[in-house]
Amino acid sequence: MQTYKMFIDGKWEDAANGDTFETKNPFNGQAWAAIPKGGKQDAERAVEAAHRAFTSGPWPKLTASARGHLLRRLGDLIAENAEHLATIEVTDNGKLINEMLFQLKYIPQWYYYFGGLADKIEGAVIPIDKADTFNFTRNEPLGVCVGITPWNSPLLLLAYKLAPALAAGNTFVAKPSEFTSASTLEFAKLVEQAGFPTGVFNVVTGFGADVGETLTTHKYVAKIAFTGSEATGRKIGELAARNFKKVTLELGGKSPHIVFDDAEIDNAVNGVISGIFAATGQTCIAGSRLLVHRKIHDQFLEKIVNLAKIARMGDPLLTSTQVGPVTTPPQLEKILGYIDIAKGEGAECVLGGGRPDNPELSRGWFVEPTIFSGVRNDMRIAQEEVFGPVLAVIPFDSDEEAVHIANDTNYGLAAGFWTQDMRRILKVSAAIQAGTVWVNTYRVISYMSPLGGYKHSGIGRENGIASIQNYMQTKSVMISTAEDVANPFIMR
């Protein structure tokens, strides 16, 4: 069994209490690695190390161009180790090797992009309305930033946070999910190899109650960036608000995927299948509510059922596998529970609905691709995030009804729709309440394009130029050029 250590202040260390916990392979249910079970003391040491690195030593003395060089070097190392890191992630979270290898080969672009952006964030000279006063602004880093990442795409979602944070000059403490810590610890080896100064990047592994809460409330932490559930995001937001810490929260979704009657049907079928089943539904942007125009509803439903039922389930490390296991046993039980809820609400299960009967999959945490028809938007299966391979199909009769159903949810992370009508594209994309809207495609991401949610789907944006501003604060500097001091009792 592989044994890992945490990375704190440039050193590889066990948890202060010496405890570890096992991480298991979702495909076969077998423990494959031992992870340090960090606690409050470890989290405090990591934050203190990051604070020292931010306030003294070589990091704050580096130019922005030098920080950019380190980030680009890190990107090169990720590219060189993409296959190894992808294999670690698949072993830990059960997602398909095809998807994780795509992610790992794409992740370097975040470090190249923000490495190039590091020395291009400029202040401004303001033509202020005060005589004999020169006013300019500076963009300065916040300090210690904490990134708390989920189990579905650990290194991609870490890149969303770490790349802009370091480009801006901050230091960082990463807390990966207790279910998928291994890849972040492997990644820390590359940060060390890239030559970042001691303490700039730290990894603490463990559980939320012990590690996460300490990181969220520590006096030296200036910002928390979190991707995960709405419930955990709310708690982090509440804890951070007590000491006015900045937050970026990318939370849950119940994304509508709309097919209008003029859609190119085969393309839409492929897009819908990809949107819900390609990642076993384990993504916040999953298109879990399928809205289909009543005119084509039956035809479209038949096509997606026929395609989904031949999807190959199996070992996620095989490139031939199309649907892998669910990442954790609690998530498996949650998904099966929602399937029972949907049946109890009167939705018709037209595909799947349980665990596969293939004995070769019996040791793993598998759920069949599942499709429900006859769904009403007020059903729990249409309102609550399942985070699994479960699709709820809802018919509609008009554009206005489609938009109403799409927006009738607490979430607003993403949406997609299929049509050939340009007027509809402009009107519907404006009307949908979601941070990302895809048209005639789905699940497309870019390091250059902002990602974030409306409503309960989060606060702030990740990726793109705007995201680096979330890791900086603006200082206004006013310099008097007057020869005489003005009356001290009057505001100038």
The mean of the pLDDT values for the chain is: 96
In 3D space, the residue among 151, 156, 161, 152 whose CA is nearest the CA of residue 103 turns out to be 156
Q: Class of 1-250+456-475 per CATH?
A: alpha beta
pLDDT by residue (tens digit) across 342-351?
A: 999 999 999 9
Distances (CA, A) of 341 to 257, 344, 377: 22, 5, 14
The token duo for 128 is: 């202020």
Q: Give bridge partners of residue 480 from the DSSP assignment.
A: 133
The token duo for 230 is: 């709405």
Residue 306 neighbours by CB under 8 Å, 6+ apart: none
- Summarize the chain as % helix, strand, coil (round to 5): 40, 20, 40
Q: Quick check: helix, strand or coil at residue 416?
A: strand
Does 466 have pLDDT greater than 80? yes
Residue 319 neighbours by CB under 8 Å, 6+ apart: 97, 98
CA separation for the pair 365, 363 (Å, rounded): 7
Which of left, alpha, beta for 6 (phi over 0: left; psi -120 to 50: alpha)? beta
Is 250 catalytic? The answer is: yes
pLDDT by residue (tens digit) across 341-384?
A: 999 999 999 999 999 999 999 999 999 999 999 999 999 999 99
Helix axis angle, 108-117 relative to 64-80, nearest 10°? 170
What are the residue ranges spanned by the domains of the chain? 1-250+456-475, 254-437
Does 475 have pLDDT greater than 90? yes
pLDDT by residue (tens digit) across 271-329?
A: 999 999 988 999 999 999 999 999 999 999 999 999 999 999 999 999 999 999 999 99
Question: Which residue in the list 250, 368, 385, 462 is annotated as catalytic?
Answer: 250
Q: Which pLDDT does position 209 carry in this prediction?
A: 86
- The letter for the amino acid at 303 is K
Q: Which pLDDT does position 287 carry in this prediction?
A: 97
CA separation for the pair 72, 101 (Å, rounded): 20
Q: Which pLDDT does position 487 carry in this prediction?
A: 76
Q: Which fold has domain 254-437?
A: Aldehyde Dehydrogenase; Chain A, domain 2 (3.40.309)
Q: What are phi and psi of 262, to 5 degrees?
A: -100, 10
Cβ atoms of 415 and 258 closer than 8 Å: yes
